[in-house]
Amino acid sequence: MRGHPDNGTIRVWDPLIRVGHWVLVAGFATAYLTEGEPEWLHSYAGYAIAATVALRVLWGLAGPRRARFSDFVTGPGRVFAYLRDLACGRAERHVGHSPAGGAMTVALLAMLALTAVSGMGTLAAEEGGGPLAGIVAHAPEASNGAGHDADEIRGEHGETEAGEAWEEVHEVAANATLLLVLLHLGGVIWASVAHRENLARAMVTGRKRA
C-alpha cells in the first residue's frame, strides 16, 4: 500500500475487489428488480453474481492483504464490541474492513451464493436448463396421452414440487440478501460519518486516508 504524495492517501482496495463489488451491486439490483422477466436477463445477472462470488472467495484466500479473509474475519465478540464503540462514538478506525464490515462481507457473499445457486436449481427443476440441469431432477412436459404421471408431478401452473421448493428457497434468500444490503448501506453511512471519510468513494478509487 503506497502513499499518494499529493493527498496523503494509501491504496487499500485492488481493482478486482472494486470491480467485483460493483458487479455484485449491478447484478443483484438487476436480478431482484426483473423478478425473472425477461428470464434471460434475470438468469445472466445471476450467473454474473455466482461467478463474482466464486472469484471473490478465491481472492479472499490468495489475494493481497486487504482482500484476504484473514485480514478482516473476526469472532462475534470483536464485531459486537466494534458496533458498541461505534454507537458510543469511539470506534477504532480500520484501514481495511472493520470487524462489522468483515462480518457483513462474509454474510453477503454467503447469501448471494445461496440466492444464485437456488435460482439455478429453480431453472433446472422447472425447465431443465441452466448449469444444474442434469443434476437437479426435472419432470418432463406431458405430451399426448402418455403424460399422466408428469401431470401428477406438476402443479396447477406447470411447476414441479422440486421446482416449488427451489423457488421458495430462492425467494427467501433474495429477500434476506436485500435486508443485508440495506443494513450494509446503513453501516457504510454510519461508519463514514463516524470516521469522517467517504467509504463508498474509497470503493471506487481504491484509496483511503493514510
pTM recorded for the entire structure: 0.86
Residues of the chain with pLDDT > 90: what percent?
71
Convert the pLDDT of each residue in 62-107 to its tens digit: 999 999 999 999 999 999 999 999 999 899 999 999 999 999 999 9
Per-residue pLDDT at 145: 46
Reply yes or no on whether the pLDDT at 202 is more than 60: yes
Q: What is the CATH number of domain 3-209?
A: 1.20.950.20
Per-residue pLDDT at 143: 41
Assign 153 a pLDDT band (cuts: 50, 70, 90).
very low
Reply yes or no on whether the pLDDT at 150 is more than 50: no
Domain extents in the chain: 3-209
Convert the pLDDT of each residue in 100-138 to its tens digit: 999 999 999 999 999 999 999 999 888 888 888 888 877
Three-class SS of the chain: CCEECCCCEEECCCHHHHHHHHHHHHHHHHHHHHCCCCHHHHHHHHHHHHHHHHHHHHHHHHCCHHHCHHHHCCCHHHHHHHHHHHHHCCCCCCCCCCHHHHHHHHHHHHHHHHHHHHHHHHHHHHHCCCCCECCECCCCCCCCCCCHHHHHHECCCCCEHHHHHHHHHHHHHHHHHHHHHHHHHHHHHHHHHHHCCCHHHHHHHCEEEC
